[in-house]
Amino acid sequence: MRLLWRLASRLTANLIMTHGPVQPGAVYLSFDDGPDPKYTERLIALLAEHNAKASFFLIAELAAAAPDLVARILSSGHSIGNHSMSHPAMYRLGFTAQWQQIDQGDTVLQGLDPGHQHAFRPPNGRITWAALLNTLLRRRPMVMWSIDSLDYKLDAEAVVKRLRSRPPTGGDIILFHDDGECALLALQVLLPEWKLAGLRFLPLECAG
């Protein structure tokens, strides 16, 4: 039993990605819950202004409704990942329903970004055994994060303060959301500061 537990722990450690490749000054901005017609376009423009690339973990039903916006994300050099079909509380669903959420999301993203296997990020950051098994059998990582901006519950000023108190370093994956204005306002302040500190912003290749 102890050997099986160690094996399971090792497998899940290899599956769950909390940091990107450690390169000098490289950090990885990631955005959940889009694409949003009101905010994602503005965010893409801000990232372009600072030569920053990012990874967008898309709710597939929203992506299917805004294919031109997804194309804009991709043509701007960003990567995309699977954030489920409709962003349910996965832990409340049965095993089969969870797999359907992930696999239906994959199907949509393949149609929008063919030829890539898209990493999965669970809704609300809640990891389930069903999602882990799906990730293992599909041979792709589950991408989490090392820094949570908390932009889903703080205002922009508080997010700036939080991230100044814990500046990102090489390999950090930072969680933001692009379904509201908070990340946009916070990054208007933070991106110039981070660039002056020598940071550069890369997409996660596994997310697209």
User: Block means of pLDDT (10 residues each) for the chain, length 208 residues?
Assistant: 50 78 93 97 98 98 98 98 97 96 97 93 95 90 96 97 96 97 98 97 85
- Give the residue numbers marked as catalytic: 32, 177
Q: Are 90 and 123 in contact (CB under 8 A)?
A: yes
Q: Enter the pTM of the model.
A: 0.93
Tokens encoding 42: 């503005």
What is d(CA 173, CA 109) in angstroms, rounded to the nearest whole number? 22
| Residue-level pLDDT at 2 | 54
DSSP 156-170: HHHHHHHHHHS---T
| Residue-level pLDDT at 148 | 98
Per-residue b or e along 158-184, where b marks 16 or more CB atoms closer than 10 Å to that residue's CB: ebbebbeeeebebebbbbbbbbbbbbb
Taking each helix axis as running N to C, give the angle between helix 67-75 and helix 95-112, from 0 to 180 degrees, rounded to the nearest 10.
Answer: 70
